[in-house]
Amino acid sequence: MGKTVHIKCLNNNQTICYPIGTTLKEVAEDMKINLRHTIIAAFVNNRLAELSYELYHSKQIEFIDITHPDGMRMYIRSLSFVLYKASKDLFPNTSLRIEHSVSKGTYCTLQNHNGKLDIDEVLAIGERMREIIDEDIPFIRRERETPEVIAMFESKGHFDKTALLKHRGQVYSSYYKLDGCLGTYYGYLVPSTGYLKKFDLIKYYEGMLLQIPQRSNPDEMEPIVVQNKMFEIFREYTNWNRVLQVNNIGDLNKLTQSGGAKTLMQVSESLHEKKIGQIADMIESRKDQVKIILISGPSSSGKTTFGKRLAIHLMVAGMRPLNLSLDNYFVNREDTPLDADGKYDFEALEALNVEQFNQNLISLLKGEEVEIPKFNFESGRQYFDGESLKMHDENVLIIEGIHGLNPQLTHLIPNESKFKIYVSALTCLNIDDQNIIHSTDNRLIRRLVRDYKYRKYSAIDTISRWPSVRRGEELHIFPFQEEADVMFNTALLFEFAALKSLAEPILLEVQPNQPEYAEATRLLKFLGYFKPMQKDDIPPTSIIREFIGGSGFDY
């Protein structure tokens, strides 16, 4: 009998010996693993692996499907490759550019295409995708010496990919083949196109929107959510990137290596300053009506620093901003609603005394002096200590919180008295033309650095809490984005390069036997694509200083 390895499967808690070289797919079939949906991949000792992975040592494995975040990432990458091939098949002289996530899908354009994509062209691409999926073509992963891979992609004109490969400094690099079509994807793909039955492709603005299944219920598609304001912000910043000639990580690395990092920082920060000034001007032009500024956005968006910078611009305009914290209006602990797990749901709107908040606002708008409540988080009770607030003609209230854009929060206040701002890190930099950087990762890396520095949270703490944070955002923030009068993008082109040296040591603390190891490894691989930038040139007023330290503001 040949050599065998012990394989423990966490899905059924069984340990079985297999011949060395057995693939994960063969293990799944032999153990008759049945998940709710088709098995896509597995974790091997807490590291993601494709089903073609061959086992040569004893391992602990856990199979996943599309409902797992890593499974969904694999699905989207694979679907993107099919879209790339379909576009090339029909329009061989164009190049697919996957721009960003919006409206519960992914916005894509065709570069070098003569004019906008029309509806018939989008329908034709979608139909070609379905043909490729029906053919069940395998995604074949290959690994070659990096110079060979670079030469291969350069011969095809894929300089967006070769720029990144040249800067990574790897001896070997991997790539994928799909029926003769080449691609690089910075994560794994599903075994074959036949796994990608659920998708849609529709015309959207000048390009097309790739729609994906719901992760919680993959038999249903994600509904299209109208996000015209969000799209315009993405488009504005994408155009800025093109002017600066920094569209992908390869462009950023080249600029860093050539000594252009400081100028890029200055331009990026100046753009932020200009945009904040414009928002202040909009408020000032309506100062006779606007008395309340509501700021909302997801975790680690930089809302606090944005609010402080906005306040300075408002003072320049002759206004006197006052801050009112929503944290003062939590209901007493016994009145706090419970979530599905029976735990206190502090992120629900019902966790706030909305009526008390509205009555205080009404009194303040009348010019009355109001005693402001306080909240003791240890005892879980509201109290008063005599602190009061009164508004004069030149005053404007700044209120920051996750429910800021929810109309129910300020339902007794006239709309003309409110100015609503949505703040988020909307990443417009790509890995390469077919691989986007998700804004969620932007915010997670910010939070890792901030929470480690200021709250003494480990990477394990932050990573394990992140799914709960994301669920709260989906419920309480994202549905109200388009309620905003204006959106502000806090993402900075250089920030990943600046965060790299701070985030990597934090992530390296996660050990292989810990469940968060897979996510830590994924983020480390992502940060590895960037050449580091020095942080000394980042001004003290920068949004990013809220996370890395050295801010000129008090928090």
Closest CA to 267 of 249, 245, 292: 245
**pLDDT for residue 555:** 83
**pLDDT for residue 100:** 94
**pLDDT for residue 510:** 98
Q: What is the tens place of the pLDDT at every residue in 490-501?
A: 999 999 999 999
**pLDDT for residue 300:** 95
Token pair listed for 359: 């009555």
Q: What is the tens place of the pLDDT at every residue in 99-152?
A: 999 999 999 999 988 878 999 999 999 999 999 999 999 999 999 999 999 999
Token pair listed for 15: 């340990």
Contact (Cβ atoms closer than 8 angstroms) between residue 85 and residue 193 = no
Q: How many residues does the chain have?
A: 555
Q: Hunting for tokens 């000394």 — which residue is that?
A: 536
Supply the mean pLDDT for the chain.
95
Contact (Cβ atoms closer than 8 angstroms) between residue 436 and residue 491 = no
Question: Rounded to whole angstroms, how far apart are CA atoms 8 and 192?
Answer: 26
Q: What is the tens place of the pLDDT at every residue in 202-236?
A: 999 999 999 999 999 999 999 998 899 999 999 99
Residue 160 has pLDDT above 60, yes or no: yes
Q: What is the tens place of the pLDDT at every residue in 268-325?
A: 999 999 999 999 999 999 999 999 999 999 999 999 999 999 999 999 999 999 999 9
The amino acid at 295 = I
Q: How far is CA 205 from the centre of its chain?
A: 22
**pLDDT for residue 290:** 96
Q: How many CB atoms lie within 10 A of CB 119?
A: 10
Question: Rounded to whole angstroms, how far apart are CA atoms 222 and 211?
Answer: 7
Residue % of the chain over a pLDDT of 70 = 100
Residue 243 has pLDDT above 90, yes or no: no
Q: Could you tell me the pLDDT band of residue 339, with boundaries at 50, 70 and 90?
A: confident
Predicted model pTM: 0.93
**pLDDT for residue 168:** 83
Q: What is the tens place of the pLDDT at every residue in 384-426?
A: 999 999 999 999 999 999 999 999 999 999 999 999 999 999 9
Q: What is the tens place of the pLDDT at every residue in 500-531?
A: 999 999 999 999 999 999 999 999 999 999 99
**pLDDT for residue 157:** 87
Question: Rounded to whole angstroms, how far apart are CA atoms 5 and 513?
Answer: 19
DSSP code per residue over 445-460: HHHHHHHHHHS---HH
Helix then strand count (H, E) for the chain reads 15, 25
Q: How far is CA 14 from the centre of its chain?
A: 36
**pLDDT for residue 251:** 94
Token pair listed for 320: 């006197």
Task: Determine which helix (DSSP H) or strand (DSSP E) holds 14, and give its type and residue range.
Answer: strand 14-19
Q: 381-396 as b/e, with b when 16 or more CB fall inside 10 Å?
A: ebeeeeeebebeeeeb
Contact (Cβ atoms closer than 8 angstroms) between residue 161 and residue 432 = yes
**pLDDT for residue 275:** 97
Task: Determine which helix (DSSP H) or strand (DSSP E) holds 105, and give its type and residue range.
Answer: strand 105-111
**pLDDT for residue 442:** 97
Question: Rounded to whole angstroms, how far apart are CA atoms 184 and 261?
Answer: 27
**pLDDT for residue 342:** 86
Contact (Cβ atoms closer than 8 angstroms) between residue 447 and residue 303 = no
Domains of the chain in sequence order? 4-65 (3.10.20.30), 70-226 (3.30.980.10), 229-547 (3.40.50.300)
Residue 1 has pLDDT above 70, yes or no: no
Dihedral sign from CA coordinates of 341, 347, 349, 352: positive
DSSP code per residue over 385-431: -S-EE---TTEEEEEESTTTT-TTTTTTS-GGGEEEEEEE-----EE
